[in-house]
Structure 1
Amino acid sequence: MPPARSSDSVLARRRAVGERIRAARLHANLTQERVALEAGLDRPSVVRIERGQQTPTLDTLFRIADAIGVPLADLVR
């Protein structure tokens, strides 16, 4: 079994996903409020996800990707 990644590595990757979500949202010219509404979330959750402060579930990532109009793979690569 491979060794577990350090918590710093996981945090850095979570922040990178949040940055990609933010970049995709801005590229689509959408507000956090609009993405939250379309994804069935509240705006503070979107803020925390984009900052890497909240770990979204896979279902939430699907909803965010759909709300932005991008493939999920673009957000989590």
Structure 2
Amino acid sequence: MPSAPPPDDRVLARRRALGDNLRAARKAAGLSQERLAELAGMDRQAINRIEQGHQSALYDNLVRIADALGIPLSDLVR
């Protein structure tokens, strides 16, 4: 099965924007990456990769993160 093409610049820019929103929300909540990961049932490295824009976030993980932060999902993906 052929691999998917790399994401284009528009997709990468949105991925970075989501990471920036996540980082800002996490810091506003006074949480470390480690604590957010615990609350969301994820590992710290996954949170870091999403914040850095190195990984595309799964919808399920975004729901877990938003719930752990106590914010609407739309705040992360705006």
In the alignment of these two chains, the number of paired residues is 72
TM superposition shift of 1:68 = 1.0
CA-based RMSD? 1.0
2:47 aligned with 1:43, yes or no?
Answer: no
**Alpha-carbon distance between aligned partners in 2 of 1:19 and 1:69, rounded to the nearest angstrom:** 17
Q: Give deviations 1:27-72, integer Å, cap 9, x for gaps.
A: 0101100110111111011000000101111000000001111110
In 2, Cα distance between the equivalents of 1:67 and 1:34?
10
Give the TM-score normalised by the residue count of structure 2.
0.89
Residue 57 of structure 2 corresponds to residue 52 of structure 1: no
Q: TM-score, normalized by length of structure 1? A: 0.90
Partner of 2:4: none
What percentage of residue pairs aligned between the two structures are identical? 58
- Note the residue ranges of structure 1 that are not aligned, 5 or more in a row: 1-5
The SS at the match of 1:30 is: coil
